[in-house]
Amino acid sequence: MAASTSDLRSEAPSPTLHALLLPLSGFHLVLPQPMIAEIVPRPDDIASISGAPDWLAGVFRWRDERVPLISFEAMCGASSEGAKRSRHIAILHTLGDQGDLVYYALELKAIPHPVLLNPTSLSTDNDQDRDHDVIAIETSIAGQRAVIPALDKIEQRVREHLTVHTNDG
């Protein structure tokens, strides 16, 4: 028996995105899985950068690359003390080939977990004032506060500070 036309649903499937929720202090960052190169234990050999802002914890070597380690919370003006106790970091690919910066790392509070996102899994408050240019969107995912970062702004700041502090000394 053939199904009638009214029984067939012509709705297009909702677009989905495989993402990771990266736990920070009081909220999560939401990033597409392909942005994450690797989640690793926090290295012991992080070289500090004299005169760098609080959010730039230092640099370390990973896969023969010099990788800057940043605290997203400190970049937004919060204390970076909690980040220094982080046990894991997320190493991210940069958005494009723009010079020497290939990867950068974010300090985490715990191991990230995967999430499948679709338009109905995000709730946003369009009236929110975003005090920080490194935050693209503030949202809620399954009742948890989440932030979609402005990766281009983060990378721009990292590049600027690495250039300044590398040329200074």
pLDDT of residue 16: 85
27 pLDDT higher than 70: yes
Instruction: Determine, yes or no, domain membership for 3.
Output: no
126 pLDDT higher than 50: yes
Instruction: Determine, yes or no, domain membership for 11.
Output: no
The CATH number covering residue 73 comes to 2.40.50.180
Per-residue pLDDT band for 123 (boundaries 50, 70, 90) equals low
pLDDT 10s digits, 31-72: 999 999 999 999 999 999 888 999 999 999 999 999 999 999
Contact of 9 with 128, CB cutoff 8 Å: no
Mean pLDDT of 120-136: 69
Phi, psi of 166 (to 5 degrees): -75, -40
pLDDT of residue 119: 74
Instruction: Determine, yes or no, domain membership for 7.
Output: no
Per-residue pLDDT band for 87 (boundaries 50, 70, 90) equals confident
Instruction: Determine, yes or no, domain membership for 8.
Output: no
Partnered with residue 88 across adjacent β-strands are 41, 108
Instruction: Determine, yes or no, domain membership for 13.
Output: no
Q: How many domains does the chain have?
A: 1
Residue numbers of the domain that contains 63: 18-168
